Chain A
Amino acid sequence: MSELPVADVLAAEPDEETTLPPSKGDSDLGGRTLEEVDPGDALVHVRGLKKHFPLRGGFLSRIQGHVKAVDGVTFWVGKGETLGLVGESGSGKSTTGRAILRLIEPTEGTVVFAGQDVTAMDAEDLQALRRQAQIIFQDPFASLNPRMTVGDAIREVLKVHGLARGEGADARVRELLRLVGLRPEYASRYPHEFSGGQRQRIGIARALSVEPEFIVCDEPVSALDVSVQAQVVNLLEELQQRLGLAFLFIAHDLSVVEHVSDRVAVMYLGRIVETADAEQLTRSPKHPYTRALLSAVPVPEPGRKRERIVLPGDVPSPIDPPSGCPFHPRCPHPLKDQDCARTVPPLAEKAPGQFAACIKEPAYVAPTGS
């Protein structure tokens, strides 16, 4: 064996698969996938949404690759419902929220809002969409134009959508400020005169000014102090009940999401790895990533400690995501094997209404005839 054949040399190169145990044949690719579910009359239905940002570099700044910020996500939000979208920084949550509203152009996939295809909308339709779907941004300090008074910023919305002018607009501004718990006199103040929580309330008032049906809350409380977070979250819930709003609530704080959401979707590296009812997801998570996330939520009980699952390594780069299951290099699942690096796991039903992208979890098969 002094001369190795070329093929053997190539095969001897360190391969990700070789570091994993060989296939055990216990993978389960079955189960209904999320794409196959008919959500009925969902207000927002996102199917296979992708957003790839081109990476330019080198001579003549040619496209050298893509950041796969969002890599095929499917979900829906019903009328008056809150879907929580959680994930680490860089998992593509915010990009998803913005792509739904076409604040950035999605690369692929469809977004249907109230029966209309958002991805096919022209400028005029988009303008109409902005009356029905709004967004609240994460950073209340950066998301308000520093050179416009609060009143002007809201009046501008009313004017561009032809909702109110003159006296009527002033009255509406006062009403909106009162609605979010601010004093109507604040209309003539500039953003820098407010605290973070107050600014976020202004952001909410602005979003509400068009009387939307759907609001993307893009980490609305992440930049706020914990005491203020509760106020803003409660305000959002109260407004939801009063105005029948649907929310896509984006956050990296699972405890907040758990609290506000009806359903939760967990994102990892631009994909949804698990989605279920909020309660079910927290009670019995199916995906190892969700389990790890949940183990990091502090328990509000002195003395008691949850067993913390610490994931090894960092989130891989979305430029060159791992093969197969994007989570496999960090996955603590006891059954992990070479299949995980080969197969892209479908987001399949693992329990009634609970979908997880893990081939090592047994699929749920609905009883026939029911």
Chain B
Amino acid sequence: MAAYVARRLLGAIPLVLGIATIIFFVVNLAPGDPTALYFNQNVPPEVLEQIRRNFGLDQPLLVRYWKWLTSFFTGDFGYSFAHSRPVADIILETLGPTLILAGCTLVLIFAAGIATGVIQAVRQHRPADRILSITSLFFYSMPSFWLGLMLMLLLSLKAHEWGLPFALPPTGMTSVDYEFLSFGGKLADRATHLVLPVLTLSLVMAAGIARYTRGQMLEVIHQDYIRTARAKGLPGRTVVLKHALRNSLLPVITLLGLYMPLLFSGSVFVEVIFSWPGMGRVIVDAIFQRDYPLVMATSFIFALVVVLGSLVADILYAVADPRIRYD
């Protein structure tokens, strides 16, 4: 197994290099350049030219590419044009919130999705299955940005007006008075701020996992070995959770790899809608500002997470299924 992981990690190197190259050229060949930010009737062209020189944009593309690549892989992510700060600092600041958001969502979508799928499969064709089916289809077909806005409206902005006993904070990661709260209060404050963004991201994706789990469970439940388990005299709960669920989870694990990109691209929307101070929002701003170093670094990190995600899924696959051996 260790050999397999090492081999996969080695194999990821050309992949990552390729990703970095594509990101560089896509970003740099896109029309417009960072000086557009400073473009103004009162700014003489010589000044813009000077700015270009300062950013190193006057050099040939391939020279820039080589310089960027070598410094990038030695850990120097460059200097953000728009923020006038090292890219590494910005990433360090924003990676945390994004990982919190994505991590909580990941746990929630798999927990809720699998639980829903199992309930549906066990209660196939009964009312519980129907209701959950319709509900998950409802969320599955909903664009996450719109769901985010609706949740914000329902559970936050209009919550008191509509008689709900609570109103969740609509934006940000902490309240304005965060610094003055006790430790427990701080924790609670962060948790309540997490609810809406995580819910927005999760509902859509959990619905997908629920549908997938249901299908897998139904397939497994009709297998002979489930009948064997019943014939052994095992209680229903053991049959469902130990025999049926474990065998159904195998393909669901592959979703982990597939959902990683969705999770991060989804978080870009959600971070913008909920003003979540994460990397997604930084990417959007950086793209509009043609902030090349920042766009490249953040996109690269997203790509890296996706590569790692599929690696983790492959490893989990082997852990979960004794028939799969990678060596």
Contact = CB atoms under 8 A, between A and B. Distances in A.
Contacts of A357: none
Contacts of B229: 145
B233 A160 contact: yes
Interface stretch (A70-78, A134-142, A243-251): A134-142
B224 A142 contact: yes
A145 B323 contact: no
B247 A147 contact: yes
B160 interface: no
B224 A131 contact: no
A127 B320 CA distance: 30
Contacts of B247: 145-147
Contacts of A101: 231
Given A190-B322, A190-B323, A103 B225 contact: no
A161 interface: yes
B246 interface: yes
A131 B320 CA distance: 31
Interface in B211-261: 223-225, 227-235, 238, 243, 246-247
A1 to B, nearest CB: 56
A143 B227 contact: yes
B58 interface: no
Nearest to B229: A145
A256 interface: no
Contacts of B231: 101, 103, 130, 134-135
B322 A143 contact: no
Nearest to B323: A192
Contacts of B225: 142-146
B224 A103 contact: no
A157 B233 contact: yes
B235 A160 contact: yes
A137 B230 CA distance: 12
A252 interface: no
A210 interface: yes
A156 interface: yes
Interface in B287-327: 320-323
The bracket for how many chain A residues form the interface is 20 to 34
A137 B227 contact: yes
Contacts of B224: 137-139, 142-143
A350 interface: no
Nearest to B233: A130
A206 interface: yes
Nearest to B232: A157
B323 A137 contact: no
Contacts of A134: 231
B218 to A, nearest CB: 15
Interface string A144-161: 111101000000110011
Nearest to A135: B231
Contacts of B235: 127, 160
Nearest to B125: A61
Given A145-B229, A145-B243, A206-B228, A156 B234 contact: yes
A133 B74 CA distance: 69
B232 A147 contact: no
A210 B227 CA distance: 17
Given A190-B322, A190-B323, A192-B323, A144 B228 contact: yes
A210 B321 contact: no
Contacts of B232: 130, 156-157, 160, 206
A142 B223 contact: yes
Contacts of A127: 233, 235
Contacts of B323: 146, 190, 192
A146 B246 CA distance: 10
Contacts of A139: 224
A367 B204 CA distance: 79
Given A103-B231, A137-B228, A145-B229, A160 B238 contact: yes
A139 B228 CA distance: 11
Most A CB contacts (10 A, CB to CB) among B224, B234, B246, B320 go to B224
Nearest to B243: A145
B249 to A, nearest CB: 10
Nearest to A61: B125
Contact of A143 (B125, B228, B238): B228
A146 B320 CA distance: 11
Interface in A111-132: 126-127, 129-131
Contacts of A137: 224, 227-228
Contacts of B243: 145
B248 to A, nearest CB: 11
A145 B227 CA distance: 10
A210 B321 CA distance: 28
Most B CB contacts (10 A, CB to CB) among A98, A103, A143, A206 go to A143
Interface string B172-214: 0000000000000000000000000000000000000000000
A161 B233 CA distance: 8
Contacts of B238: 160
Contacts of B228: 137, 143-145, 203, 206
A210 B246 contact: no
B322 A103 contact: no
B82 to A, nearest CB: 52
Interface in A88-102: 98, 101
Contact of A103 (B125, B227, B320): B227
Contacts of A144: 225, 228
A210 B223 contact: no
Interface in B136-168: none
* Closest CB pairs A-B (n = 7): A130-B233, A143-B224, A142-B224, A145-B225, A190-B322, A157-B232, A135-B231
Given A130-B232, A147-B247, 16 more contacts: A61-B125, A127-B235, A131-B233, A135-B231, A142-B223, A143-B225, A144-B228, A145-B229, A146-B225, A146-B247, A146-B322, A147-B320, A157-B233, A160-B232, A160-B233, A192-B323
15 contacts: A130-B232, A142-B223, A143-B224, A144-B225, A145-B225, A145-B247, A146-B321, A147-B246, A147-B320, A149-B322, A160-B238, A161-B233, A190-B323, A192-B323, A206-B232
